[in-house]
Structure 1
Amino acid sequence: MIQEIIDLVYTQGANGWRTSLPLAMLLLAVTTYTVTILSYLRTKYIHGESQEPPIIPYWLPGLGSTIPFVRDTKGFIDNAVRKWGDSTPYTIKLAAFKGYLITQPEHFGPLLKATRFLSNKKVMAELMRDVFGTPPNVMPMYLGDNSGIEAKPVPGTSIPSHQRIWHNQHVDSAKYLTGDVLRGLAARFTSTLSEAISKADPNDPADSGEWVTIDDFYPWWRARVFAAATTSIFGPHLLRLNPTLEQDFWNFADSIPTLVKRYPAWMAPRAHAARNKMIDSVKKWHAHAREHSDYSISGDDAPKWDEYWGSVWLKVRQRWGQATGTMDDGGLASEDLALAIAANANAIPMAFWYLVEIYRDPALLSRVLPELEAAVISPAADNTPAAFDLSPVLASPLAQSIYAEVLRMRISLLLNRCADHKDHRIGPWTLKKGAYMTLPTAYIGYHPKAWEPYTDGGKAPIDEFWAERFLVPDEAKSAQTEDAVSEKKEPKMRFSTEHLEGIWVPYGGGALMCPGRHFAKQEMMGSATVFAHYYELEIISGKAPPMDEKYYGMGAQQPAEKTPVRIRRRHGGWKAAGNGQSL
């Protein structure tokens, strides 16, 4: 009897706990949400001077918005703006940390230009560690360099000149991705791509000279552009030494959204294995290049391209890294792996989108093809690659407008800035030193009010592709035309991103703007030019595929679905024509 009573009491107690614990947790969550809503309203509407922006309300005490932000960043941002509007910056509580979400168009430009006070050093250092695998012994150089990017170090800092990594990267990127070096690099890319695809592949139906269907155009074109871009920057031996590099590269790129969330190897073994394989490939190439070519011969008089190192810039990077006294083989490999991602992971998907948008619209294609054909200076003939001069394409208002529109729609970055030295003010709000400021380009690139003047009076909605969005009347040329014919005609148009500061930001802004943007532009437009010379294309659905939201905030968005096409080779097909001659 006594035992039965004890068992009954125990059972009732256990059942009570099972009932009361969830209720207690629910009550705690509701209380937390109510308190944070009241705090949000008080801060937003009754804030004082030097106050931080209001905290986005959350349910989980201690964790804040960590789970929804990490699990679905796009959904979190969209939901926050839908609920709370975008009239003010917001503070996001992420467990023990906090950051600021900036969605107001008027703040993007000033924040991105304020590089004297704000930097992306902190997030870039963390990316080098978490994504690119920089060894722990090298990380203090990244994290400790607070001297800024300018030639004159930030006052009060004492970083030795040979370890000022941010300044060095800024200067060298500007030097080797502009001017004559850039033109040489772009010319090598187009010639390498042209030479590669001038040789018809008898195992590829697309090279037969007949119309054929390809199940998915993206990987087909991606592989060809990747090989040309990698060879033009790194030379031929990185690919030769690592035959699976192209697939390894995209396996790693697909792992970046996982690695950036800092999952340890036991939770994300495939992502870490993909990163490690790429690092090993770069190490193998470095060792081979050092064995066959002296990287120290990399001054201004050195050849701008080397068979083993590729662009002279890679020799300069190797020389500087060795001179730091801190970089080891792992650190050097991580640096060049980051460069490979910067050079390929954005430009190559964007080259795909550029082609898709042109070829899915026959009317647009008929206008663009003459612009691309103007770049051909020597057509392909008798297995001789075509030669190109991209100047006419790069100067074409329409081709440039398509380029800018593709970037607006398909680049999604979470631009991060941090006040390294003191608090920063925007309007009435104070952004605390050391906290991240996150500026989502995908949100601002579709901001209806900011882009309203660029919708052709509402006929070209901002969520739809419009090839002419970045064209404006060229008043000078229009006036010359009118004088010549003594009658008014349709105005001449020119490409322009004027007055779009802070809302067209696919490369960031200010002094920290992506240094590779000029090469990326030539890679996109150059690859389309080469493709159009060798192939004809039809997008079967007539539509662009949706974007894969997995890559939100990571740069160029990749297609979420296959893109079936009909394709026919124009020059040098392997299949015999009716007259017995090759096409």
Structure 2
Amino acid sequence: MVVLAAIFGLAGALGSGGGGGGGDKQPPSLWEPIPFVYNSLQFLLDNEGFMKRAQAALKKTTVARFRQGGHLVYLVSGPKNVQAVFGRSHNNNIHNDDLMVRSTLPLWYRLSADDLRRFATDKTGRGRNPLPGTEDTPPENRLFLGYEHVHNEFLARAQHLAPMVEQYQRQLTQTLDGLCPSPSDATGTGKKGRNDDGVVLGVVDFCKGRVARCALHALLGPGAFEISPDLVERMWEFDDAVFPLVMGLRLGVPEWLNRRAHAAHRRYLNAVRRYLDAAWADFDWADPASADARWEPRFGAQVTREVAKWFRDHGFTGPDTGPGAVGILAWAQNSNVIPTTTWLVMEVARDPELLRALREEVETAFATDGATGRRRTLDPQKVAALPLLASAYTETLRLRMNFNVVRNVRQSFTMAGYTIRGGSLLQVPTLVAHYDEDVWGAESHPASEFWAGRHIKYTDEPDAEGRVTRKRVFAMASRTGSYFPYGGGNLICPGRHFAKQEIMLTIALLISRFDIEFLGWTKLDGSPSDRPPRNDPRFSGGGAAPPDRDMKIRIRPIAS
């Protein structure tokens, strides 16, 4: 399909509207050289090529359509249309329940056919009140609502988020302190010394290894590594298998033809299962101090414990269901955060001026000792509010998130003058919205390039003596329809709060402890590269695209 994409390119991106059926006005079709086949296969096998064609098509219309297998799919762009998809008025009509039953639950949660039927029969929606006609459904049978609630409650609320952030900060601090001795203890003996050579790191390996391990420790607790020391490796092996697994499901490829991907998935599930079995065996549910703990060493964060418990309490006791639920939680936390962190470290490391400005900003986020006046630790809340760091974080997500928000449509409705048919799928591409020059372009800073200051405004503030200080302010107002790295609406990713703090804390801790020297680019196998990285096309459509090259840096401790 890559060859076909090269042959046909972007020519004839849109075909005629045709085939409206029933008198409804349909948007133009995404052109395909082989009708009913090409678009569907290219979407799966050459997603980058497909999205480039879609991007070109959506410059001429804000709604286009194509066939993906047996499904009619509408591609949606434009701030007003995107806001309509995510808006409250469509909460009951635009959903992802069918997608969950058809792909997510059987593939990642490994639910049996009987368990899937239980989810499939839940037509109550996810609102507090059941949808009309389903009011008599017992609360325990409102599975989609319960599933969503347990994630939103324990991932998004501040009281549950704070212990995870605290654990992550503690683990990453210890990890960074162990990378190389500080100038006051370069010999590792407690005696003064120098460490002029520093330590050379590959940014990709650093983030996928050390940073991911700290994140998993915060989510799953230390027991995960005591029981499954290879958990990080198994997770990234699974990450490489995700696309073949999804493609195999959609194309009906039998497992024996997709052995490598399924084997990677099984190894990951087994690693998570060993950890979960040990946590269940050691945990005392009768002890309120444990049962109500927001973080404890066996399960780690409360969200992990509650997700595993919810599936068990609701009778989903298949051998892979618990490991599948917790495994997908852990993978989802890292699959987008780690590539985003990697890109942001690279952007900071290759720009000395940005590094200097961010370091000055981060200095203001340290808590100080009231008695001595000396700085102690970074305050995560202050870090999350740093304007330039927030802008750099936002810019990285804008450029590196590449996926289509996918929703089911229950009943037909009108958008941009076209009928969106009930039973169809909506896809809202981040690639189109996030790279829109009319929204994001600025003089000397096109939307396709990273610019850390893109989301900064400046205000003049007088001090007590009347002197005016120019102050940075993070500004992202009125762009909700053009920026949605975590999805949107009532189905927005509940893990976004921890993701933001994890990414920003990583940068803040790294640059506050080390001088960073950019050494050069390498290919992922370590050999020299003659160019900087691009978004890895293998991950197009899957979320945060990792870089297809690595960066070598040298870090040296900053004297405190």
Same fold? TM cut 0.5: yes
Give the match's secondary structure for 2:405: strand
2:256 to 266, 282, 285: 266
State whether structure 2 residue 537 is matched by structure 1 residue 561: no
Take 2:318 and 2:137, find their aligned partners in 1: how far apart are those partners? Answer: 19
2:484 to 505, 509, 520: 505
Counterpart in the other structure of 2:83: 109
Shift of 1:506: 0.4
| Alignment CA distance shift 1:296-1:87 (3 Å) | farther
Give the match's secondary structure for 1:56: coil
Take 1:276 and 1:387, find their aligned partners in 2: how far apart are those partners? Answer: 41
Take 1:95 and 1:182, find their aligned partners in 2: how far apart are those partners? Answer: 40
Pairs within 5 Å for 1:291-370: 291-295=281-285, 302-370=292-360
Counterpart in the other structure of 1:220: 206
Give the conservation status (yes or no) of the 8 Å contact 2:212–2:338: yes
| Alignment CA distance shift 1:439-1:569 (3 Å) | same
Structure 1: gaps spanning 5 or more residues: 1-29, 380-384, 572-582
Counterpart in the other structure of 2:4: none
2:275 to 285, 294, 309: 285
Structure 1, residues 477-524: CA drift from partner, whole Å, max 9, x if none?
x3x5289527xx575331122111111110111111111111100000
Give the conservation status (yes or no) of the 8 Å contact 1:295–1:315: no
2:415 to 420, 426, 448: 426
Take 1:544 and 1:141, find their aligned partners in 2: how far apart are those partners? Answer: 49
Counterpart in the other structure of 2:403: 413
Take 1:356 and 1:63, find their aligned partners in 2: how far apart are those partners? Answer: 40
State whether structure 2 residue 450 is matched by structure 1 residue 465: yes
Pairs within 5 Å for 1:449-488: 449-452=438-441, 455=442, 458-474=443-459, 478=460, 480-481=461-462, 485=466
Structure 1, residues 177-198: CA drift from partner, whole Å, max 9, x if none?
2212212221111012112332
Take 1:131 and 1:282, find their aligned partners in 2: how far apart are those partners? Answer: 13
| Alignment CA distance shift 1:254-1:130 (3 Å) | same
1:443 to 426, 432, 435: 432
| Alignment CA distance shift 1:321-1:294 (3 Å) | farther
Counterpart in the other structure of 1:166: 144
AA aligned to 1:485 is G
Counterpart in the other structure of 1:152: 129
Take 1:75 and 1:482, find their aligned partners in 2: how far apart are those partners? Answer: 54
Give the match's secondary structure for 2:485: coil
Counterpart in the other structure of 1:127: 104
State whether structure 2 residue 508 is matched by structure 1 residue 518: no
Take 1:401 and 1:393, find their aligned partners in 2: how far apart are those partners? Answer: 12
Structure 1, residues 387-419: CA drift from partner, whole Å, max 9, x if none?
432232212111111111111011112100111
Counterpart in the other structure of 2:525: none
AA aligned to 1:481 is P
Give the match's secondary structure for 1:409: helix
Take 2:21 and 2:195, find their aligned partners in 1: how far apart are those partners? Answer: 69
Structure 1, residues 256-300: CA drift from partner, whole Å, max 9, x if none?
121111243222211111111111112111211111103576799
Take 1:560 and 1:112, find their aligned partners in 2: how far apart are those partners? Answer: 32
Give the match's secondary structure for 2:435: coil
| Alignment CA distance shift 1:243-1:358 (3 Å) | same
Take 2:344 and 2:316, find their aligned partners in 1: how far apart are those partners? Answer: 42
Give the match's secondary structure for 2:451: coil
Take 1:201 and 1:265, find their aligned partners in 2: how far apart are those partners? Answer: 46
AA aligned to 1:318 is A
Give the conservation status (yes or no) of the 8 Å contact 1:86–1:104: no
| Alignment CA distance shift 1:328-1:139 (3 Å) | same
Q: RMSD across aligned C-alpha pairs, in angstroms?
A: 3.2
Give the conservation status (yes or no) of the 8 Å contact 2:71–2:425: no
Give the match's secondary structure for 2:438: coil
TM, length-normalised to structure 2: 0.84
AA aligned to 2:219 is I
Give the conservation status (yes or no) of the 8 Å contact 1:377–1:387: yes
Take 1:317 and 1:357, find their aligned partners in 2: how far apart are those partners? Answer: 36
AA aligned to 2:278 is H
- Name which of structure 1's ranges 385-394 and 268-277 shifts more when overlaid on structure 2: 385-394
State whether structure 2 residue 29 is matched by structure 1 residue 74: no
Structure 2: gaps spanning 5 or more residues: 1-7, 189-193, 370-374, 522-530
Give the conservation status (yes or no) of the 8 Å contact 2:203–2:550: yes
Counterpart in the other structure of 1:372: 362
Give the conservation status (yes or no) of the 8 Å contact 1:102–1:438: yes
Residues matched between the structures, number: 519
Structure 1, residues 521-572: CA drift from partner, whole Å, max 9, x if none?
000011112222333222224885211011112111111012122222447x
1:493 to 446, 468, 472: 472
AA aligned to 2:167 is R
State whether structure 2 residue 191 is matched by structure 1 residue 209: no
- Name which of structure 1's ranges 76-85 and 308-317 shifts more when overlaid on structure 2: 76-85
- Name which of structure 1's ranges 530-539 and 183-192 shifts more when overlaid on structure 2: 530-539
Give the conservation status (yes or no) of the 8 Å contact 1:322–1:328: no
Shift of 1:324: 1.0
Give the conservation status (yes or no) of the 8 Å contact 1:65–1:92: yes
Give the match's secondary structure for 1:566: strand
AA aligned to 2:551 is T
Counterpart in the other structure of 1:233: 219
Give the match's secondary structure for 2:453: coil
| Alignment CA distance shift 1:525-1:128 (3 Å) | same
AA aligned to 2:466 is V
